[in-house]
């Protein structure tokens, strides 16, 4: 018999995730406000956006330390270990389920249990965003706060522009990830059960 509720989200993961979501949303809003700043119609005054963006960015880095050290020192880290042999076919099976099987009421190819917290697509996107995109945003963010550390020329262009480009591209990809992530979180036992899980710690199985 399969369990109906599995405790998958320890308190530290839930707290980290809550702060991470709030901080990311604030960074996106202040980032967009700076990107499209217009002194005549400021969404938020430019200097206010810069100050909030910098402070929240620093808080995000501190919060990231909780994620990084938490995954290093607790059993939660094992869910992020990608197993490369057969990865592509597992991703395709999950993709097929999301685009066809789900709508025909077929069972999920990789059901969630205490040994497998994420399906292959979830795992890849969580690893990609948390171990590649967010670190790129943090490193380029610090460099943009202290631009004197950036070489004035890098390859064919200005080091500052290239750093800014990487910061914005990675931030855009995390924003995109967030929209898709929230949509996929509605695919649970009920549309709200995954969100409830991030509050009480329990994943409800089908």
Structure tokens at 33: 């406000």
Nearer of residues 25 and 45 to ligand HEM, judged by Cβ: 25
How far is it, in rounded angstroms, from Cα 179 to Cα 163?
25
Sign of CA dihedral 202, 104, 101, 130: negative
Using CA atoms, how far apart are residues 53 and 11, in angstroms rounded to an integer? Answer: 27
For residue 70, the minimal CB distance to ligand HEM (Å) is: 9
**Cβ at position 25, least distance to ligand HEM in Å:** 6
Q: Which residues bind ligand HEM (CB under 6 A)?
A: 9, 13, 17, 20-21, 24, 76, 122, 126, 129-130, 134, 174, 178, 181-182, 185, 194-195, 197-198
Choice between 181 and 189, CB closer to ligand HEM:
181
User: Of 150 and 173, which has the nearer Cβ to ligand HEM?
Assistant: 173
Q: How far is the CB of 49 from ligand HEM (least distance, A)?
A: 19
Which of 123, 127, 130, 122 minimizes the C-alpha distance to 187?
Answer: 122
d(CA 23, CA 19) in angstroms, rounded, equals 6
Report the distance separating Cα 172 and Cα 168, nearest Å: 6
Nearer to ligand HEM, 143 or 174 (CB): 174
Instruction: Tell me the closest approach of the beta carbon of residue 24 to ligand HEM, in angstroms.
Output: 4
Q: Which CB atom, from 45 or from 69, has the smaller least distance to ligand HEM?
A: 69
User: CB of 156: closest distance to ligand HEM in angstroms?
Assistant: 31
**163 contacts: CB under 8 Å, gap ≥ 6:** 140, 143, 144, 150
Beta partners for residue 157, in sequence order:
154
């Amino acid at each position: 018999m399969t369990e109906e509720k599995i405790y998958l989200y320890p308190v530290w993961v839930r707290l980290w995730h809550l702060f991470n979501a709030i901080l990311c949303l604030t960074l996106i809003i202040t980032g967009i406000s700076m990107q499209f700043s217009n002194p005549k119609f400021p969404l938020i005054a430019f200097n206010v956006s810069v100050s909030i963006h910098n402070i929240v960015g620093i808080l995000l880095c501190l919060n990231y330390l909780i994620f990084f050290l938490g995954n290093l020192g607790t059993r939660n880290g094992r869910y992020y270990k990608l197993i490369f042999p057969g990865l592509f076919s597992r991703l395709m099976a999950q993709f097929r389920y999301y685009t066809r099987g789900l709508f025909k009421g077929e069972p999920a190819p990789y059901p969630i249990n205490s040994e497998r917290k994420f399906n292959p697509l979830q795992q890849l996107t969580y690893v990609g965003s948390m171990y590649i995109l967010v670190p790129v945003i943090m490193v380029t963010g610090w460099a943009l706060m202290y631009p004197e550390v950036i070489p004035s020329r890098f390859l064919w262009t200005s080091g500052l522009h290239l750093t800014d480009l990487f910061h914005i591209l990675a931030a855009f990809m995390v924003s995109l990830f967030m929209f898709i992530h929230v949509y996929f979180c509605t695919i649970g036992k009920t549309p709200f059960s995954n969100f409830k899980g991030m509050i009480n710690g329990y994943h409800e199985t089908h």
